[in-house]
Every structure is written in structure tokens, then in C-alpha cells.
Amino acid sequence: MTSPLLYISQPPHTANIRLACEAGCRAVQLRVKNAQPQEWLQLAKEAKAVCDTFGVALYINDNPHLAKQVGATGVHLGLNDMSVAEARKILGPDVIIGGTANTATDIRRHASEGADYIGLGPFRFTTTKEQLSPTLGLDGYHRVLEQAAVRLPVFAIGGILEDDVPGLKAAGIYGVAVSGLITYAEDRTGLVARLLRQLDQPVHQHLPKN
């Protein structure tokens, strides 16, 4: 699994992905909704180029075919997307596949189909996602992770703030997936460094490859 800090893109996607990479993020998810196929493909190509420049892992939301087309590190599947098993047939054994979960049952299903990681949430209400599942809160993470009893990396997602990270780590999560927290940060580099320290990972130099 890659970095425990995953940045989920917001429009303008290419510009915000570059800013996140410059700030030290090591993993990015291109999350595009309601775009035409050609626009989505163009954004994915741009995102891949930026991520390659910085040596950053790129995940594509919802679309295994597009992830394969652009050579992304992985794909993330929502609860209403195709199954992990179906995506694995498209992508093969080497591409990382993650799945959204709101319950222990969701986690166990994804695990049984060969998921590499879980995005568990939402932690709290967020406006960045439509048709939001029931919020979990910190108690919910403790309960769901205990019930699931699955040894997969779990990312917390959904309205997470910097101060939430220590409690989530204590609950047993592997990492956090954040969007607006980084997009709208006044000091992205400082924020990313602090988040990585809280997640017990080394802070990387945020310099492009030559």
C-alpha cells in the first residue's frame, strides 16, 4: 500500500493535484463526477503526468477501464460501482483496488473479493459527496473495525480535520483520505507534514523528478 495520506481531488483537478503534490502528498485520487468520457480521459492523462513528475501514486475513482488506459497505480470503487472482483478481471493482479465501506459487512465483502484497501466512512457530514451514507464518528470506526476483523489497510474518509487524526489512528485506521482540508489550506506544505507525522510516516521532500 502507498502513503497513508490520500488527497482526493477537487476542481480544477489538475491545478489542485499539482498543489497537493508540491505540498508533499504521495498519493492522489482523481475524483471526477458527471464528466463526459473525453473530458475524464483528458483529466486523467493530465493527473498522471503531474503525479509522474513528482513520483506520486495516482488512483482513479470509479473507472477501472480508465485506470488501465492511463496506467494509474490503482482504482477506487464506490458502493454502487462494479465489484472488486469484476475490476480485478479488468486490471489484473498488480493494480491496487480499493473499495468504499460504511459497515463491517461492506469491508468483509470487499476483502473476500480481493480488495487491497478500504475507504471507510463518512467520518462526519461532508458536502463533497452526494448520497452520503450514515456518518460513523469515532465510536463508529471502533465498532465497525472490531466487527469486521479484517486485516486490510483502512482509510478514514469524510470531513476529516487535522485534530481527528490521532483518535482515528487509535481506532485502528491505516490512513486518512482528505479533500477540502488540503485544497483550502493556507499552508499546505505544513499541513501535509503534520498529517504525515501524525500518521507515523516520514515526511518526503516535495521536489519534482528531473
What pLDDT shows up at residue 126? 76
Per-residue confidence (pLDDT) for residue 202, from 0 to 100: 46
Give the pLDDT confidence of 80-95 residue by residue, as tens digits.
999 999 999 999 999 9
- What pLDDT is recorded for position 205? 40
> Would residue 155 count as lying in a domain?
yes
> Does any domain span residue 206?
no
Place of cell 486490510: 152
Whether residue 209 lies inside any domain: the answer is no
**In-domain check, residue 178:** yes
- Domain containing residue 15: 5-198
Q: Tell me, yes or no, whether 36 lies in a domain.
A: yes
What's the confidence (pLDDT) of residue 170?
93
The whole-number pLDDT of residue 132 equals 67
What is the structure's pLDDT at 207?
46
**CATH number, domain with residue 9:** 3.20.20.70
Distance CA 30, CA 197 (A): 24
Is 112 a domain residue? yes
Does 210 map to a domain?
Answer: no
Q: What is the pLDDT of residue 129?
A: 58
What pLDDT was estimated at residue 5?
98
Q: Are 72 and 58 a contacting pair, CB within 8 Å? A: yes
Q: Which pLDDT value is given to residue 133?
A: 80
- Looking at the structure of the chain, the number of domains it has is 1
Q: What is the mean pLDDT of each run of 10 residues along the chain (210 residues)?
A: 92 98 98 95 98 98 98 96 96 97 97 98 78 87 95 96 96 96 98 95 46
Encode pLDDT of 3-48 as tens digits: 999 999 999 999 999 999 999 999 999 999 889 999 999 999 999 9
20 lies in a domain? yes
